[in-house]
Amino acid sequence: MRLPQQLLVREKDVHKGGCGRVLVVGGSPGLTGAVCLCAQASIRIGAGLVRAAVPRSLNTIFEVKLTEVMTFPLADIGGCLSGKDFNKIEKSLEAIDVLAVGPGIGMHPATKKLIERIIKKVDKLLILDADALNILALEPGILNERKSREVILTPHLGEFSRLTKKNIAEIKESRKELAKSFALRYNLHLVLKGPNTLVTDGKDFFDNTTGNPGMATAGTGDVLSGLIAGVAAQGVVPFLAAKTGVYLHGLSGDLAAKDKTENCLIASDLLDYLPEAIKIATGCRERG
């Protein structure tokens, strides 16, 4: 596929603030890696500024793991984000283009309330993934109360099953129809992950052709959310940002699997092979 112009050429006098600003909201005990993968994917794909809003009690871990990404410690309860510092998120919105919410965020009741407040009060492009989707599945109607006009959901089959209350076998049989119906019902963009990941806004569809079974490993979904967020933050419209993120995500996985085998592929490999994937996608290098 043809990549968006924003990923091809930069103005000579551009500065980091003009390349897109992403806030990743997530993290909880045992799940710090998810935030790091998501945030690193956003900055690797070209976002100029990426911050990670993380539990204050775990901030030292993120300070060690992240170099180019800035941390944004927030109040927590037992290592899980609470809504106590929601006002700090609100104050930061002027300096943010995209929020990616959910990587490693957990299911604490206080976290659930925070995510609900973000959905209801944040007027920025929202990308909801991982436990943000599981929390949303408890009350999907909250999407009708959202403030943002643009929302991207990135569920795998299990998460989509919880969102739609349909079993996975039924989803596999009617994947396009169910994805289209859900996207239309809630007026959003849906990225239904799996073999030939599907992107739809309820009208148009994109069936991805890149990717391989080696990508069925922990953390690859977090990388995808970060890629989509990083592309969208650079001014790419949501549907094209989702398509681009999905395509490059799979292509990076294919390149990694070729060198490292499918069995040995891990999520961070996708970050390492992303530059090569972009070169191939832009015609700067042939795919071997």
The residue ranges of DSSP E strands in the chain, in sequence order, are: 21-25, 49-55, 70-74, 76-77, 80-81, 98-101, 125-128, 151-153, 189-192, 198-200, 205-207
DSSP H or E segment with residue 244: helix 238-260
Please report, in angstroms and rounded to a whole number, the separation of the first and last CA atoms in the chain: 17
| Gap between the Cα atoms of 254 and 130, Å rounded | 23
What are the φ/ψ torsions at residue 149 (nearest 5 degrees)? -80, -25
Count of CB atoms within 10 A of residue 54's CB? Answer: 30
Does this model's pTM top 0.85? yes
Tell me the torsion sign for CA atoms 58, 68, 190, 155: negative
| Gap between the Cα atoms of 198 and 182, Å rounded | 13
* CATH class of the 19-281 domain in this structure: alpha beta
**Among the listed residues 267, 222, 215, the one whose alpha carbon sits nearest the alpha carbon of residue 34:** 222
Give the start-to-end residue ranges of the domains of the chain. 19-281
Residue type, 147: K
Question: Tens-of-pLDDT digits for all 288 residues of the chain?
Answer: 889 988 888 888 888 888 999 999 999 999 999 999 999 999 999 999 999 999 999 999 999 999 999 999 999 999 999 989 999 999 999 999 999 999 999 999 999 999 999 999 999 999 999 999 999 999 999 999 999 999 999 999 999 999 999 999 999 999 999 999 999 999 999 999 999 999 999 999 999 999 999 999 999 999 999 999 999 999 999 999 999 999 999 999 999 999 999 999 999 999 999 999 999 998 776 666
